[in-house]
Structure 1
């Protein structure tokens, strides 16, 4: 795994795109602070940049770098969630501006996955994690289902066999600073 982390880190530090397994589905990733790399993700997915992308961070400490004020309830949701849960937070900061939604929000998940944890921790920044498909197409449930267009469109494909399957997108919850909680995707 260390070899794959090091190769992925090098690609991310150089502003390149990676294809990698997450705690949910295979993702297209880049350094979330690099606007040019984020633009490449939108281009590969053929997606409008007004549609926000999810980011992964290693832990609560790193989460606090990207949100002006993390609501207390967010940490409770993260702790009690039994499945991968992405939270949309108000007042994003310190990420590429083309990652921030028009309303100032950002979607972030702390994955329960050693590879993703190590990658984010060693890069010391958030990593974009968007499903490995062209917008409008089905989310691939396995590596075999990822289109050649996506595979050829990234700079590095992580070669890692997964013990647990990663075939279902995360739940998404929108958590506003005013205390309103809205389930976007179960």
Structure 2
């Protein structure tokens, strides 16, 4: 696994895109602070850049770098969630501007996956994690279902967990600083 982390790190540090297994589905990723790399993901997915992408961070310490004010409920949700849960936070900061939604929010997940944790920790920045498909097409449930267009469109394909089947993306919850909680995807 260390070789795969090092290879992926090298690509991310140089503004490239990776295709990698996450705690949920296979994802297309880049350094979440690199505006040019984020633009490459939108182009590869053929997706409007007004549709925000999810980021992964290693832990709540890293989360604090990218969210001005973390609601207390967020840490409780992270602690008690039995399945991967992405939270949409108000007042995103220190990320590529084209990654932040028009309303200033950002979707972030702390993955329960050793590869993703190590990668984010060693990169020391958030990593974009968007499903490995062209916009409008189904999310692949396994590596075998990822289109050649996506595979050829990235700079590095991580050679781990290619046999893993995942049919559920993360839950998504919007937590506003005013205390309003909204389930976007259960």
TM range, smaller chain: over 0.9
Aligned to 1:172: 172
Q: Distance in 2 between the 1:162 and 1:79 partners?
A: 28
Aligned to 2:147: 147
Superposed displacement of residue 129, structure 1: 0.1
Root mean square deviation, CA, Å: 1.0
Superposed displacement of residue 174, structure 1: 0.3
Alignment gaps of 5+ in structure 2: none
Corresponding residue pairs, total: 186
Q: Distance in 1 between the 2:115 and 2:163 partners?
A: 12
Q: Which runs of 4+ in 1 moved over 2 A?
A: 161-167
Aligned to 1:99: 99
3-state DSSP of counterpart to 1:182: strand
Q: Distance in 1 between the 2:168 and 2:2 partners?
A: 25
Contact 1:23 1:166 in 2 (8 A): no
My pick for the range that moved more, 106-115 or 157-166, is 157-166
Alignment gaps of 5+ in structure 1: none
Aligned to 1:17: 17
Aligned to 1:185: 185
Contact 2:143 2:164 in 1 (8 A): no
Aligned to 1:30: 30
Q: Distance in 1 between the 2:127 and 2:10 partners?
A: 13
Q: Once the two structures are superposed, what CA deviation does each residue of 1:31-53 show, in whole Å capped at 9, x if it has no partner?
A: 00000000000000000000000
Q: Once the two structures are superposed, what CA deviation does each residue of 1:92-113 show, in whole Å capped at 9, x if it has no partner?
A: 0000000000000000000000
1:23-172 equivalences in 2 (<5 Å)? 23-161=23-161, 165-172=165-172
Q: Distance in 2 between the 1:52 and 1:164 partners?
A: 26
Superposed displacement of residue 168, structure 1: 1.6
3-state DSSP of counterpart to 1:140: coil
TM-score, normalising length from structure 2? 0.98
Superposed displacement of residue 165, structure 1: 3.8
Q: Once the two structures are superposed, what CA deviation does each residue of 1:60-87 show, in whole Å capped at 9, x if it has no partner?
A: 0000000001111000000000000000
User: Residues 31 and 112 from structure 1, CA distance in 2 versus in 1: closer, same or farther, beyond 3 angstroms?
Assistant: same
